[in-house]
Amino acid sequence: MLDLSHVVFRRNDFTLSADCRFTERITGIFGHSGAGKTTMLHLIAGLLRPSGGKIVLNGRVLADAEKGLFVPPHLRRVGVVFQEPRLFPHLSAHANILYGSRSTGANFDEIVSLLKIDYLLGEKPSCLSGGERQRVSLARALLSLPEILLMDEPMSFLDFQLVSDIIPLLETFSRRFDIPVIFISHHLNQILQLTRRIVLLEKGCVAASGDLPDLIFSGGVLDLLPGLELSNVLKLSVLECNSHAGQAVLGKPGRSVPVLFSHLDRLVKGQSVTIEVRPEDIALGTATVESLSIRNQLKCCITRVTGSRTYSFVEIDAGFAGLTLIAKVSLPAREKLGLSPGRECVCFIKQSEIRILGTGEPEPPEKHQGCEGSENA
């Protein structure tokens, strides 16, 4: 567990004030540029020294401004993966990975195998692609056996396919080696592929923290982030797969939904799949429509509704193993259809609007913990 207790850092005209606790296996830190995301990471890593407050990792005090205590970065057992891989140009990938390693040869072999970088161990960084350098950087951070892994915009310069390849690996490593991850990004869909647990920073302050849907429907977040590009990201199991019909059954046994896909060839029965649907690509109605080209017509129930002056977000339960979707509708549509909690309706999703972000092995069930903060926790 990581605890930031009344932490304060000042530089010129900027002040970061953070009071929050990280207890989830993976937590995302989200905010606009200049909100203080990287500053918070540097404070945790020991690259900056707080002027106030205390930072505690698993009961070990890393910084206490009042007592003048400050543990230097190399003694913190904190792994960091930066936006740009900071590899030594004169060392091979193998030597870069082993730099600062506290791990065993068995761990080295396993990490290198899972990251699929065994073929490039003898190469210098200048001979590697951006994705390869980032995977080498991740391997080095993991082999230091950190108590927590901090990732600062690690996917910013990678294309969609590389992001799709690396994000499932982060989940696998976090689970297999029991390493908590704090993932910083201003791309919300990248965070949501890993977790729904969010710490929202705004102008150097923790504006809210907790499960993102809860934050949205508790009010206030839409005002803080008027241009929020929300995305529905669902991690589900492929229970059945019919290539001829172009249909897959997603969810969990007893809580599943048949869904039509445009790219069903990427799915295999028994694997997990991460899909993305934007709220504005979900239409709501009061009944199914046979004379309509949209074939994904899912019966659902409205659980929560919130909105701004121009639109509404409607949370619906469509049977995806307890995971909800959020649809974005206009205020006139909300009023005309009478969209309110408890109302049964139908959501319409085009096959082409369901995006497959990645596939992998089924994820084992895990105990839900939490992320606490000073507001909206």
Residue pLDDT, tens place only, 46-88: 999 999 999 999 999 999 999 999 999 989 999 998 888 889 9
Alpha carbon distance 200, 333 (integer Å): 30
Q: Which sign does the torsion angle of CA 312, 317, 320, 321 carry? A: positive
Mean pLDDT, rounded, for 265-275: 84
Q: How far is CA 288 from CA 227, 228, 276, 291, 337, in A?
A: 32, 30, 23, 9, 14
Q: So what's the pLDDT on residue 371?
A: 46
pLDDT at 377: 36
Supply the pLDDT for residue 368. Answer: 42
Range of weakest confidence among 215-219, 294-298, 337-341? 215-219
Is a pLDDT exceeding 90 seen at residue 294?
A: yes
Asked if residue 161 has pLDDT above 80, the reply is: no
pLDDT at 212: 86
Q: 160-164, 252-256, 336-340, 360-364: which has the minimum mean pLDDT? A: 360-364
The domains of the chain, with CATH numbers, are 2-229+366-373 (3.40.50.300), 232-360 (2.40.50.100)
Higher pLDDT, 32 or 94: 94
Whether 374 and 343 have beta carbons less than 8 Å apart is answered as: no
**Is the model's pLDDT at 4 over the cut of 90?**
yes
Q: Percent of the chain scored above 90 by pLDDT?
A: 45
Lowest model confidence (mean pLDDT) among 104-118, 126-140, 150-164, 358-372: 358-372
**210 vs 363: which has the higher pLDDT:** 210
What b/e string do you get for 57-78 counting C-beta neighbours within 10 Å, with b at 16 or more?
beeeebbbbeeeeebeeeebbb
pLDDT value, residue 305: 94
Residues 6+ apart with CB under 8 A from 210: 197, 198, 370, 371, 373, 376, 377
What pLDDT is recorded for position 369?
A: 44
pLDDT of residue 53: 96
User: What pTM, to 2 d.p., does this model score?
Assistant: 0.83
Q: What is the C-alpha to C-alpha distance for residues 91 and 110, in angstroms, rounded to an integer?
A: 21
| pLDDT at 225 (0 to 100) | 64
- Residue 166: the pLDDT is 78
Q: Cβ–Cβ contacts within 10 Å for residue 297, how many?
A: 17
SS3 per residue for the chain: CEEEEEEEEEECCEEEEEEEEECCCEEEEECCCCCCHHHHHHHHHCCCCCCEEEEEECCEEEEECCCCEECCHHHCCEEEECCCCCCCCCCCHHHHHHCCCCCCHHHHHHHHHHHCCHHHCCCCHHHCCHHHHHHHHHHHHHHCCCCEEEEECCCCCCCHHHHHHHHHHHHHHHHHCCCCEEEECCCHHHHHHHCCEEEEEECCEEEEEEEHHHHHHCCCHHHHCCCCCCCEEEEEEEEEEECCCCEEEEEECCEEEEEECCCHHHCCCCCEEEEEECHHHEEEECCCCCCCCCCEEEEEEEEEEEECCCEEEEEEEEEECCEEEEEEEEHHHHHHHCCCCCCEEEEEECHHHCEEEEEECCCCCCCCCCEEECCCC
Distances (CA, A) of 91 to 87, 88, 125: 8, 6, 8
Q: By the 8 A CB rule, do 53 and 8 touch? A: yes
**10 Å Cβ neighbour count for 149?**
23
Task: Give the pLDDT band (50/70/90) at residue 157.
Answer: low
Which two three-digit tokens encode residue 213? 């849907």
| 321 pLDDT tier (thresholds 50, 70, 90) | confident
